[in-house]
A and B are shown apart, each in its own frame.
Chain A
Amino acid sequence: MQKDVIIAGVGGQGILSIAASIGLAAVAENLRLKQSEVHGMSQRGGAVQSNLRISDREISSDLIPLGSADLIISVEPMESLRYLPWLSENGWLITNTTPVKNITNYPDLEEIMAEIRSLNNHIIIEADRIAREIGSPRSSNMVMLGAAAPFLDIGFENLEEAVRELFRKKGNDIIEFNLKALKAGKDIASEEISK
């Protein structure tokens, strides 16, 4: 088993919480893991990504080779397309719909969505709306993680446990909201896949 995942977003959106949850769950399943992160200049509102590789064998490279990512998870629509050259033939792209318009020349959102829809394997999730609906607007990243769950080959209960671990210090209410968000994301993705 090996999964290569690119997690994309804009500096400040907290994509590392997604990476960290998958990481914890992978460790619980005794899988090996390499997770490269962006620290530094780009964290100031620039494009950021994390290359996450999980496997039952030894992983050599910290970076995912071109054309071999099984999954791109993006918390921002334009950013989801930036890493297409890394996506494998049968790979999936899962993206949130809320744009971060911190540049003056942000493209027309419809054009971006059209590009996403033109891909064979894609899931578009209104993660911010869903997070608001369950009463936890800040849990949109966990909605995205939930949406990625069916593709990860990791037991869902281990992802839930990872979320508990990650938010342990923040108290039970926050944990419950994030678990709800995780479940909501998973349900939508499962529905989309079976379509």
Chain B
Amino acid sequence: MKNLMLLGDEAVAKAGMDAGISGIYAYPGTPSTEIMEYVQTSGQASDGGIFCQWSANEKTAMEAALGMSFTGKRAMVCMKHVGLNVAADPFMNSAVTGINGGLILVVADDPSMHSSQNEQDSRYYGKFAMIPVIEPSNQQEAYDMVFHGFELSEKYRLPVMLRLTTRLSHSRSSVKPENALSQKELSLPEDPRQFVLLPAIARKRYKYLLSVQDALEKESEDSPYNTITEGTDKSVGFIACGLAYNYLMEVMVREGLDHPVLKVTQYPLPGILIGKITGDCDSVIVLEEGYPFLEEMLRGFPVTDKRIRGRLDGTLPRDGELNPDHVAKAIGITVKEGPAVPAVIKNRPPSFCAGCGHIDMFNALLEAIDDFGPGRVFSDIGCYTLGALEPFNAINSCVDMGASVTMAKGAADAGLHPSVCVIGDSTFTHSGMTGLLDAVNDKSSITVLIGDNSTTGMTGGQKSSATGRIESICAGIGVLPERIRVIEPLRKNHSRNVEIIKEELEYKGVSVVIARRECIQVATKSRKQEKKHK
């Protein structure tokens, strides 16, 4: 079979299809977005009838994937790291129900926060749920380990987490694919109560989960993906997890070093392999992309093993993604940098696209709110978060998806008036709607400004769940029809838009202003497509 040049994300997607998934569920989020996008644009998915539509959020995606697994079919669900917070409830409980058809949860972490609010390490969730975690170190492993993951999942009847990090998700290399397996037949769980987590059943299921822990650890000991490479210089040994292994190899090959190395890409942690390397070497440097997950365990608490080095003792930076230079410095090798960046160079943060409707929305909001004073605009996550930057300085919060509505509500309940929130259309349907219901029920005085560009803009223009239905959703939740206003954020409408926003700011109760104009990127793309079809 011909080799393919694939991003880590795409390798996972291709492998999922080749491993016979019947469906993939996801909500977009950097760096995981390209997994679903690859499936959606592949002929293989349409030929094989593989379900591949975006979900409203990560929780609905996780649950739908579990439902597909219930039918005996293989399913995949993908999200970014913070998405797993949203999906945490079904995720934790899916470890207790177990699965029927193989189920892989792909989580892409974003150390260094290239496009995220934090750099949480999903391996903790894996340990929390007590399920196997696989963490490929390169694109080929990303492909191969999907097959391995499905086998593990079906052998132990548990979901398996596949952890990616930004650098692997978004780096391309050659991948050799396997022959595609066919999809599974529909076959319902043997035990009709497996998925019924009433306490009496849940206790039994939980005991099952506990009972396979030793076997899962044994799988990790014997896994072809966890390996020790011997080395003659035992003054220091290395434990390298996932992608960190590549940085170590880069430095060891270049410098001709010969130390023992344990590569870990499958969890629960292989205790015997780890004991061997910590026993054999005078000290051990632990290289992990993300938090010092393994390092902290090996050091003990209070610290009992000072021979363990890594992020916690300053051998490596405490935060941010690793790179070959951090690893070289950790080994004591001087890194010879090129010329310094000249002082004239300025930062270039992201900014609104020229012609973006959010610009006109913020200009109108800023003028409308001017009389009331600053510090009362809660916002959310999306392109419109760029309203926090110069020259707008228009928003005062960005915490987690949907939080703008509920934070504005809390502030309004405390007496802040007006209390405003700015939220995108996709974020609104992801998890703003439920907060709006709270506000309606409690008659909290908030003004919800929905920047409706009819797409999920920040992540590259994926389908937004409720395009064309935002007004009816708000009305259905109970916002008074006369308090649902629609404006078109264009410069020529500026003064009219300011007036409308002002009216709603002054209103005591829940009001919604929908600033609707198509995303300029999406509009340009569809214009190009149209031209092509003519």
Interface of A with B (CB < 8 Å)?
10-12, 23, 27, 32-47, 51, 59-63, 65-67, 69, 78-79, 81-82, 84-89, 91, 102-108, 111-112, 115, 119
**B348 near A102 (CB under 8 angstroms)?**
yes
B: residues with CB less than 8 A from A are 5, 7, 30-31, 33-34, 114-115, 167-168, 170-174, 243, 246-247, 249-251, 253-254, 323-325, 328, 335-342, 344-353, 383, 386, 390-391, 458-460
A64, closest chain B residue (CB): B324
Q: How far is the CA of A65 from the CA of B246 in the complex (A)?
A: 12
| Contact A39–B338 (Cβ < 8 Å) | no
A60 contact from B253, B383, B458, Cβ within 8 A? B253
Residues of A near B341 (CB, < 8 A) are: 81-82, 84-85
Closest to A100 in B: B348
How many angstroms between the C-alpha atoms of A103 and B391 in the bound complex?
Answer: 10
Whether A33 lies near B344 (C-beta < 8 A) is no
Chain A's nearest CB lies how many Å from the CB of B427? Answer: 15
Given the complex of chains A and B, what is the CA–CA distance between A62 and B7 in angstroms?
Answer: 11
Query: Cβ of A66 and Cβ of B351 under 8 Å apart?
Result: no
Q: Measured between alpha carbons, how far is A42 from B438 in the docked complex, in Å?
A: 35
Across the A-B interface, the 6 shortest Cβ-Cβ residue pairs: A40-B115, A40-B30, A46-B350, A87-B338, A61-B250, A60-B249
Q: How far is the CA of A40 from the CA of B457 in the complex (A)?
A: 10
Contacts of B344 in A (CB 8 A): 78, 81, 107-108, 111-112, 115
Contact in complex: B346, A105 (CB < 8 Å) = yes
| Least Cβ–Cβ distance between A111 and chain B, in angstroms | 5
Interchain CB contact (< 8 A) of B31 among A39, A81, A84:
A39
Measured between beta carbons, the chain A residues less than 8 angstroms from B33 are 39
Contact of B325 among A44, A66, A84, A111 (CB under 8 A): A66
Rounded to whole angstroms, the CA-CA distance of A32 and B171 in the bound complex is 13
Residues in B whose Cβ lies below 8 Å from that of A33: 5, 172-174
Q: Give the docked Cα–Cα distance between A88 and B337 (Å).
A: 8
> Do residues A63 and B323 form an inter-chain contact, with CB atoms below 8 A?
yes
Other A-B pairs beyond A65-B254, A103-B348, 5, CB < 8 Å? A39-B30, A45-B351, A60-B253, A66-B335, A67-B335
Shortest distance between the CB of B43 and any CB in chain A (Å): 15
Q: List 13 A-B contacts (CB under 8 A).
A: A36-B170, A40-B30, A44-B458, A61-B323, A62-B173, A62-B243, A65-B323, A87-B338, A91-B338, A103-B348, A107-B346, A112-B344, A112-B345
Q: Give the distance to chain A from B61, nearest Cβ to Cβ, in Å.
A: 19
B391: chain A residues within 8 A (beta carbon): 104
A69, closest chain B residue (CB): B338
The complex places the Cα of A108 from the Cα of B343 at a distance, in Å, of 12
Whether A41 touches B115, Cβ cut-off 8 Å, given contacts A84-B338, A88-B338, is yes
Contact partner, A63, options B31, B167, B346, B458, Cβ 8 Å: B167
Within 8 Å by CB of B340, from A34, A62, A85, A104, lies: A85
A103-B338 in contact given A32-B174, A33-B174 (Cβ < 8 Å): no
Q: Say how far B154's CB is from chain A's closest CB, in angstroms.
A: 31
Complexed CA–CA distance, A64 and B34 (Å): 23
Contact status A115-B342, CB under 8 Å: yes
**How far apart are the CA atoms of A176 and B247 in the complex, in Å?**
41
Task: Write the nearest CB–CB distance from A43 to chain B, whole angstroms.
Answer: 7
B170 touches A65 (CB 8 A): no
Q: How far is the CB of A76 from chain B (nearest CB, A)?
A: 9
Contact between B345 and A81, CB atoms less than 8 A apart? yes
Enumerate chain A residues within 8 angstroms of B170, measured Cβ to Cβ. 36-39
The reply to whether A41 and B350 contact each other, CB–CB distance below 8 Å, is yes
Report how far A53 CA is from B167 CA in the complex, Å: 14
List residues of chain A with CB within 8 A of the CB of B174. 27, 32-33
Asked if A65 meets B346 with Cβ closer than 8 Å, knowing A39-B34, A82-B341, the reply is no
Given A37-B172, A66-B325, A91-B338, A10–B348 Cβ distance below 8 Å? yes
